[in-house]
Homo-oligomer: A and B are copies of this chain.
């Protein structure tokens, strides 16, 4: 066991990227990570080892030392409506594929309603044989399905479609640019089960889904998707859904634009065609350079993001680092993620963490020997359908700068000679 071979240190691509197997196989024996110190003397005994600690608590919270790991939001333009807008997930401080529910992004059109589950109802009506009304307790008796899936706002990353000048305020980071993406284990009843029970009229081809918030947030969804894999969720990451994510019921429409995953779900009406709600006409369509728009473009395209290093989570001196990030696609599983440390001149494949699930976040990792010189880090994901993330230039050539939805171009983080990371447009 003490005779492991030294790992390969040959470069996998330019500017210090190493073979992804370095960190998966033989370990780092002999790599002499500068971050470890030799133990010259016994450890000091800290005060918390000298006295009994805190008693049990009914529902745990993070350590007070993790106070910076919180959602952030831009105060609404109208201070009379503090619940309109979005708060964002602090990706640079997180790891793995699951987003803790307390940090799942929030997008509200009229704040978070305080719904009493005993009073809440879900109606299914319209083009059905028999309209039905469900209590939450009644739904709890139905067969359930669990799956790990991301939810992403259609407007996430929209900053990358904006003009070159960066806006005033704090420098943009992974949270402010890409924080409208989170991933949870969702559990609920297949919508197909409920629609089958109501009996689908052959004239129905879409559903209309409406929330119980005072905005009545609503979207039209193709019936085929409603029958394929849409869930009426009661649970998120094992427990009942949090209020800001739709308590007591939300729709999960895997891979589709965030606000189609209607929160505080109260009504599903079966209809012949889309009903042209505000959020599918004036909003959430993709305006192109030509002035035309893509409407009813639902699956979120393949995308990836390096979370470490990233702005606010920089490097501490030259040497070995692990580049860590997330990739996801509304069309299925992630197939590959490539990483570049030289602004796209050369690329090497990253390691993907198992399990690689469809329409879920996949964590990727890549070893890097940072020389201390400026660098530009990028990641480029491809999904099982063959779609690949475009460069920002290619995306803008097609869409111009008015298309702030479905932005899935490559993110570039510049690293300066101090190890600080910042958004750069390349």
Q: Which of B1, B70, B73, B214 contacts A52 (CB 8 A)?
A: B214
In the complex the two chains form, what is the Cα distance from A3 to B357 in whole Å? 31
The B-contacting residues of A in range 218-233, CB under 8 angstroms, are: 223-224, 227
B235 pairs with A94, CB closer than 8 A: yes
Q: Which of B65, B73, B144 contacts A95 (CB 8 A)?
A: B144
A2 pairs with B202, CB closer than 8 A: yes
Task: Determine if A363 is an interface residue (Cβ-Cβ < 8 Å).
Answer: yes
Known contacts A27-B197, A48-B214, A63-B114; 18 additional CB pairs below 8 A are: A27-B190, A27-B193, A28-B193, A28-B197, A35-B135, A36-B132, A36-B138, A52-B84, A54-B113, A59-B102, A62-B240, A65-B116, A96-B187, A100-B237, A137-B316, A144-B365, A148-B355, A237-B237
Task: Determine if A29 is an interface residue (Cβ-Cβ < 8 Å).
Answer: yes
Stretch binding the partner chain, chosen from A119-127, A377-385, A405-413: A119-127
A27 pairs with B192, CB closer than 8 A: yes
B239 pairs with A100, CB closer than 8 A: yes
Task: Determine if A58 is an interface residue (Cβ-Cβ < 8 Å).
Answer: yes
Task: Determine if A110 is an interface residue (Cβ-Cβ < 8 Å).
Answer: yes
Task: Determine if A200 is an interface residue (Cβ-Cβ < 8 Å).
Answer: yes
CB-CB contacts of A119-147 with B at 8 A, as 1s and 0s?
A: 11101110000111111011101111111
The B-contacting residues of A in range 57-113, CB under 8 angstroms, are: 57-66, 69-73, 81-87, 93-104, 106, 108, 110-113
In the complex the two chains form, what is the Cα distance from A321 to B52 in whole Å? 46
B266 pairs with A60, CB closer than 8 A: no
B70 pairs with A58, CB closer than 8 A: yes
Chain B hits for A33, CB < 8 A: 138, 141-142, 197
In the complex the two chains form, what is the Cα distance from A238 to B2 in whole Å? 33
A214 pairs with B49, CB closer than 8 A: yes
A61 pairs with B4, CB closer than 8 A: no
The smallest C-beta distance from A219 to any residue of chain B, in angstroms, reads: 17
A199 pairs with B240, CB closer than 8 A: no
In the complex the two chains form, what is the Cα distance from A144 to B365 in whole Å? 8
In the complex the two chains form, what is the Cα distance from A94 to B216 in whole Å? 29
Task: Determine if A165 is an interface residue (Cβ-Cβ < 8 Å).
Answer: no
In the complex the two chains form, what is the Cα distance from A61 to B58 in whole Å? 13
Task: Determine if A401 is an interface residue (Cβ-Cβ < 8 Å).
Answer: no
Task: Determine if A53 is an interface residue (Cβ-Cβ < 8 Å).
Answer: yes
In the complex the two chains form, what is the Cα distance from A144 to B243 in whole Å? 33
Task: Determine if A115 is an interface residue (Cβ-Cβ < 8 Å).
Answer: yes
A239 pairs with B104, CB closer than 8 A: no
A212 pairs with B48, CB closer than 8 A: yes
If A28-B193, A187-B95, A197-B31 touch, whether A110 touches B322 (CB-CB below 8 Å) is no
Task: Determine if A39 is an interface residue (Cβ-Cβ < 8 Å).
Answer: yes
If A4-B196, A234-B95, A353-B146 touch, whether A83 touches B52 (CB-CB below 8 Å) is yes
If A36-B197, A131-B38, A238-B95 touch, whether A23 touches B54 (CB-CB below 8 Å) is no
In the complex the two chains form, what is the Cα distance from A271 to B344 in whole Å? 48
Task: Determine if A178 is an interface residue (Cβ-Cβ < 8 Å).
Answer: no
If A56-B71, A141-B321 touch, whether A212 touches B100 (CB-CB below 8 Å) is no
Task: Determine if A367 is an interface residue (Cβ-Cβ < 8 Å).
Answer: yes
CB-CB contacts of A165-205 with B at 8 A, as 1s and 0s?
A: 00000000000000000000111001011101101111000
Task: Determine if A55 is an interface residue (Cβ-Cβ < 8 Å).
Answer: yes
Considering the complex, give the chain B residue whose CB is closest to the CB of A115: B48
Chain B hits for A84, CB < 8 A: 52
In the complex the two chains form, what is the Cα distance from A238 to B353 in whole Å? 14
Task: Determine if A43 is an interface residue (Cβ-Cβ < 8 Å).
Answer: yes
In the complex the two chains form, what is the Cα distance from A275 to B192 in whole Å? 58
Task: Determine if A117 is an interface residue (Cβ-Cβ < 8 Å).
Answer: yes
